[in-house]
Structure formats: C-alpha cells, structure tokens
Amino acid sequence: MRKSIHTLTLLFLFGQITVNAQEGRCPKLPASYLWETEKDYKKDEDLVKKTLRWLCATPYSVDVEQRSLANVFVLEWIAGSPDILVEVKTDYLPFYLDHPDLLYTFIHAVALFKIEKPGIKDEPTLYKEGFKVIAELAVQSKELSHSHALRPLLKAHKKSKMKEYVKSIQQKK
C-alpha cells in the first residue's frame, strides 16, 4: 500500500513537471496569418501576448529557430496593430551599438507592457520595463552578462535602481 502511494506521488509530481515544462514552450503559431482590420488584430492579441511573454522569459540560447519565427510573428503584429505603438530612441539604448539584437527584446517588453497596461504611456516607465527584461535575460547569458556595454544596466537592475538608470540616460541625451 505504501509503495503504491509513493508511486502515485512520483507519477503526480512527474506529471506536474511535464505540464510546467510545456508552459515554457513557445505558443503554437499559425502557419500563415493576415491582419487587415482592427478585428483581425484583436483576434490574435492573446496569442501575441503569450508569445511576447515567452520571448521575454526564455533565454536567448533556447529554441533559437522558434525564437526567430516568434519574433517575426510578433513584430509584424506590432507594426500593424492599430492599438500598439512602440517608439524607440536608440540614443537611449546605450548597448545598441554592441548588441543591436537586444532592440527586439526591448520592443517585445515594451509592447507586452503596453498591451497589458494600456493606460500607462510615460516614456521612463516604458524604458524601465524594456530594460528590466533585457537585464533579466542578459544575466542568463554568459556572453551578455559579461558585456561591458551592459554593465551599467545590469548593475542598476541588481541594485533595483532601474528608474534612476533610465533617468540618467534620458538626461544625457
């Protein structure tokens, strides 16, 4: 009896691990998509949110091919969406010249924040959210976590001083 309870417990725990592991996968993207009307964009908004969450949480080295497909999908949606406008001043991205691909992560983070909190539009908050996601993913990357260009951003993130970091960057420009 005791052995069967242990076996059931292990099976249950294994099942939970499997379910949780599947949550870390990129959502299933449609083979083709076309957005022409506001209704078309609204229809896919939940899928875009899930995909953006995945892109913002998944380390850069995981599922690289799927990450590229997901990036194209969300960027095309963002570019045409009548409700989401992401304006980026690359002068405010001090790492941009060394790591131009991080622009995508920044856009993903800002777009997700704007979808989830459409009433918040102030630039410092949007940049703080974009930088926060970049920092969280960079610490998971051996290359990025040692990047000289990202050092001030990572330091601000570690010390929970992201608001001050954004302010200092915007004052320099």
- Report DSSP letters for 56-99, one per residue: HHS-TTSSHHHHHHHHHHHHHHHHH-SS------GGG-TTTTT-
List the one residue out of 119, 138, 130 whose CA is nearest residue 162: 130
Overall average pLDDT of the 74-81 stretch: 97
Query: Percentage helix, strand, coil, to 5, in the chain?
Result: 65, 0, 35
Structure tokens at 18: 């499997």
Cβ atoms of 168 and 162 closer than 8 Å:
no
Distance, in Å, from the CA atom of 114 to the CA atom of 12, rounded to the nearest integer, reads 38
Q: pLDDT tens digits for 84-135?
A: 999 999 999 999 999 999 999 999 999 999 999 999 999 999 999 999 999 9
The number of distinct structural domains making up the chain is 1
- Cα–Cα distances in Å, from 92 out to 77, 140, 154? 24, 23, 15
Distance, in Å, from the CA atom of 56 to the CA atom of 60, rounded to the nearest integer, reads 9
Give the lowest-confidence range in 8-17, 25-34, 66-75. Answer: 8-17
Residue length, the chain? 173
Confidence of residue 172 (pLDDT cuts 50, 70, 90): confident
Domain that holds residue 58: 2-172
Task: Find the radius of gyration of the CA atoms of the chain.
Answer: 19
Cβ atoms of 163 and 124 closer than 8 Å:
yes
Name which residue leads in pLDDT, 12 or 123: 123
List the one residue out of 112, 166, 111, 114 whose CA is nearest residue 135: 166
Mean pLDDT taken over the chain:
88
Q: What is the pLDDT of residue 173?
A: 64
